[in-house]
Amino acid sequence: MLSKINCFCVSLVGVLLSLGGQAWADDFELKQIADGVYVHHGKHLDIDDGYQGDICNLGVVIGRDAIAVIDTGGSKHTGEQLLQAIKAISPLPVHYVINTHVHPDHTYGNAAFQNGSTHFVGHEKLANTMLLRKEQYEKLNTRLLGEAGKVSSTVTPDTPVHAQITLDLGNRILQLQAQTVAHTHTDLTVLDTQTNTLFAGDLLFAQRTPVVEGDIKGLIAVLEHMNQTTYTRIVPGHGLESTDQKAIIGNALRYLNALLADVRYSLKKGISMEQTMDSAAAAERDQWQLFDIANRRNVNVIYPQLEWE
């Protein structure tokens, strides 16, 4: 009987590995997008409406000797689901967890990867920023996620990226680049050099309305600089990955430039911030999901900043 159970388990793993490059753990899907590169797509839900800790993209890159994870989700539970899905694909250890920036939907799955041997990697300003926001974010997680939020502790990076570093997974090099103030002041990009796949974090959104916390002019500049290099595919922080670099970056730049121009116009004409929330980048409304929520928040962030131009 035991041998039959073992055979069944082996067969099940084989099925998981053969289903079109995808693996599931409790309905948690990892999609293979390139050789040794996987992505889990979070749901397009707003953090104040239906948030369940799984709204952003999570990446997995597998080398000869080790695995790197790029963002871990918004709760320990999401991180545990990710870890189980990884185990269905490869027996290799996760040597690195890389956080692309500070926001809790990308970092609170870190707790699932604490094992004494995994290194946590992030922008040089990330650790301090996570600690400064620790109380705020942990209260938010508890309010939104209940018990799942209470056990989702803050895990800060032990490996800071000051400018650029490389991580070797065994015949597979990742290039990590710290960015200037853009989406946040803790942004980091990850390039898998073997497949020329760029993980852009929340510097780039697809389908879902881009979000600005840091500096819209800095974000535009970073995206324009990013566009000067050709990538085989780009994985945004939210939305579907794309091999059409011109479209995925161009769409984000179109929205951000429209938003910037419209807020500047409102300031010049003395139009209030509240009125501007309803009018800025209105031509983009049908192009993006969660537009009304995210766009109003963006105006709330950048209107006061641009008053000092």
More confident of the two residues 198 and 49: 198
16 pLDDT more than 50: no
* pLDDT (average), residues 266-295: 97
Confidence of residue 166 (pLDDT cuts 50, 70, 90): very high
pLDDT 10s digits, 106-119: 999 999 999 989 99
* pLDDT (average), residues 207-213: 97
C-alpha to C-alpha distances, 181 to 146, 221, 223, nearest whole angstrom: 32, 10, 12
Confidence of residue 148 (pLDDT cuts 50, 70, 90): confident
Task: Give the per-residue pLDDT at 213.
Answer: 97
14 pLDDT more than 80: no
Q: What is the number of other CB atoms lying within 10 angstroms of the CB of residue 275?
A: 12
Write phi, then psi, for 206 (nearest 5 degrees). Answer: -130, 140
Confidence of residue 265 (pLDDT cuts 50, 70, 90): very high
pLDDT 10s digits, 61-100: 999 999 999 999 999 999 999 999 999 999 999 999 999 9
Task: Give the per-residue pLDDT at 22.
Answer: 53
Say which amino acid occupies 236: P
Question: What is the rounded CA–CA span in Å between residue 299 and residue 282?
Answer: 12
Contact 139, 152 (CB under 8 A): no
Confidence of residue 241 (pLDDT cuts 50, 70, 90): very high
24 pLDDT more than 70: no
What domains are there in the chain, each with its CATH number?
17-243 (3.60.15.10)
Task: Give the per-residue pLDDT at 11.
Answer: 37
41 pLDDT more than 70: yes
Task: Give the per-residue pLDDT at 105.
Answer: 96
Of the candidate ranges 111-125, 143-157, 158-172, the one whose mean pLDDT is the lowest: 143-157
pLDDT 10s digits, 185-198: 999 999 999 999 99
Confidence of residue 141 (pLDDT cuts 50, 70, 90): confident
Task: Give the per-residue pLDDT at 23.
Answer: 53
Average pLDDT for the chain: 91
Task: Give the per-residue pLDDT at 150.
Answer: 79
Exposed/middle/buried for residue 136 (C-beta within 10 Å: 0-12, 13-18, 19+): exposed
Confidence of residue 28 (pLDDT cuts 50, 70, 90): confident
